Chain A
C-alpha cells in the first residue's frame, strides 16, 4: 500500500527566503506526482504535476523535482511571499491502473512579513 510522507509538518520563515518542502513515497511504481496548495477552509489547487517520466516541472517561483527510484520529490519556492502561506500537499497517482490519489498530510507553511 502506497504511503506518502511530508517533512516538515510545519515551517515558518521570513519573507524573501527560498525554501524546500519534502515528500517521500514508498512505492516507486507511480504514474505521476502532484503538489497542491490548500488555503484554510478552501479546496485544493493543483500547483504542479510531474509525470513519472519527468524529472521536474516549473511554474513561476515554484519548481518541483521527482526522483522516482528513490521515492522522493521536493517543492522549491523561491523568494517566498506572505501570500504563499498555506498548506502544501503532495499526492501520488500509483500504478496498476488506479486513478485515485494518495496524499501526504501536508506541510503548513507560514511566511512572516
Chain B
C-alpha cells in the first residue's frame, strides 16, 4: 500500500495567491482528516470527512480556508487568499472506519511558506 499521498510536498507562494493542497487517502479508508502543524500551536485539526461528507469544520481558521472531497480517493484544502501566518505543515490523514480501535494514518505533509 502506498500510504496517504500528499502533493505538493513543498510550496512557496506570495501573499494573496491561491494555494491548493491535495491528498489521496489509503484505498478503502472512509474517513479523511486535515491537520495543520506550527511551532506555536502544535498539531490542530482543521476538518474531517466521513464517506466524503464534511463532519466537523470547526477547526478551519477563516473563510479563506475551504476543503472538498469530491470522491473517496481525493481531497483538497484550498487557501484563498494566502497570508504569511498560514505558513505551516499541513497533514492529511485517513482512517478505515469510526471504530474505537482504528488508528489514523498520516501522509508526509505539505510544507507551506507564504512570503
Contact = CB atoms under 8 A, between A and B. Distances in A.
Interface in B51-69: 55-56, 59
Interface residues of B, number: 25
Contacts of A44: 91, 93, 106
B56 A98 contact: yes
A88 to B, nearest CB: 13
Contacts of B95: 99
Interface string B40-57: 001111001010000110
Interface residues on A, range: 20 to 34
Contact of B104 (A42, A98, A101, A104): A101
A99 B106 contact: no
8 contacts: A32-B100, A42-B109, A43-B4, A44-B91, A46-B104, A100-B33, A101-B33, A102-B45
Given A32-B100, A103-B42, 15 more contacts: A36-B106, A42-B108, A42-B109, A43-B107, A43-B108, A44-B93, A49-B103, A51-B100, A89-B43, A99-B33, A99-B50, A100-B56, A103-B43, A105-B42, A106-B42
Nearest to B92: A43
B82 interface: no
B75 interface: no
A47 B106 CA distance: 12
Given A43-B91, A99-B50, A34 B103 contact: yes
A76 interface: no
Interface of A is mostly: strand
Interface of B: 4, 31, 33, 42-45, 48, 50, 55-56, 59, 91, 93, 95, 98, 100-101, 103-109
B109 A52 contact: no
Contacts of A31: 100
Contacts of B91: 43-44
Interface string A31-60: 110101000001111100101100000000
B87 to A, nearest CB: 15
Contact of A52 (B31, B42, B100): B100
A46 B103 contact: yes
